[in-house]
Amino acid sequence: MDQQEMMLKLILTAWNGQIAAADKLFNGFTDDELDYEVATDRNTGVYLLGHLTAVHDNLFSLLGLGERLYPELDQVFIFSPCKSGKARPVTNELRNYWNSVNEKLAQHFNRLSVDEWLQKHTNISDEDFAKEPHRNRLNVLLTRINHLANHIGQLTFLKK
């Protein structure tokens, strides 16, 4: 394994580790428990489940990996705050969406080469990427790992 492959392995391991930690948290709560706010006046567990699913689903288009699975989630879980009153899938369905998105992402992630990870994401022009080559797919992944870790820290506050 060369250095680039080792570094990619470390980053993918970090991603997988955070996904596993989130899975463990979500699976540890009933649907009813996920309806509680993680702290007073903060997001509910189920909102964070939907939010993380939507943000991860966005990776298909942002990383140029194909069609998104559930683009309709953005309206409720990204563009609207918790308790917006907007119609949303039932919690059990959201659990399935969360798993489907992460499983399909993992299939792509395990197949991409280092060269491919260092290619531009779809939200930057060729001109800008020539000047700012760090704005690549791998950088997007690193920001999403932190985003997930951030919300995991909040989900650990959810009470049974």
Residues of the shown chain interacting with a copy of itself in the complex, contacts defined by CB under 8 A: 1, 3-4, 6-11, 13-14, 17-18, 38-40, 42, 114-115, 118, 133-134, 136, 138-139, 142-143, 145-147, 149-154, 157
Q: Nearest distance from residue 118's CB to a copy of itself, in Å?
A: 6
The residue assigned the tokens 């932190």 is 146
Q: Nearest distance from residue 129's CB to a copy of itself, in Å?
A: 13
Residues 114, 54, 14, 26: is their CA dihedral positive or negative? Answer: negative
Q: How many residues does the chain have?
A: 160
Q: Nearest distance from residue 93's CB to a copy of itself, in Å?
A: 25
The two structure tokens encoding residue 127:
């001109």
Closer residue to a copy of itself in complex, CB, 70/155 = 155
Judged by DSSP in three states, 15 sits in: helix
Closer residue to a copy of itself in complex, CB, 93/128 = 128
DSSP string, 103-158: HHHHHHHHH--HHHHTSB-TTS-HHHHHH-TT-BHHHHHHHHHHHHHHHHHHHTT-
Q: Nearest distance from residue 29's CB to a copy of itself, in Å?
A: 17
Residues 99, 142, 123, 155: is their CA dihedral positive or negative? Answer: positive
Closer residue to a copy of itself in complex, CB, 96/146 = 146
Contact 152, 18 (CB under 8 A): yes
Q: Nearest distance from residue 116's CB to a copy of itself, in Å?
A: 12
Closer residue to a copy of itself in complex, CB, 15/60 = 15
Closer residue to a copy of itself in complex, CB, 48/70 = 48
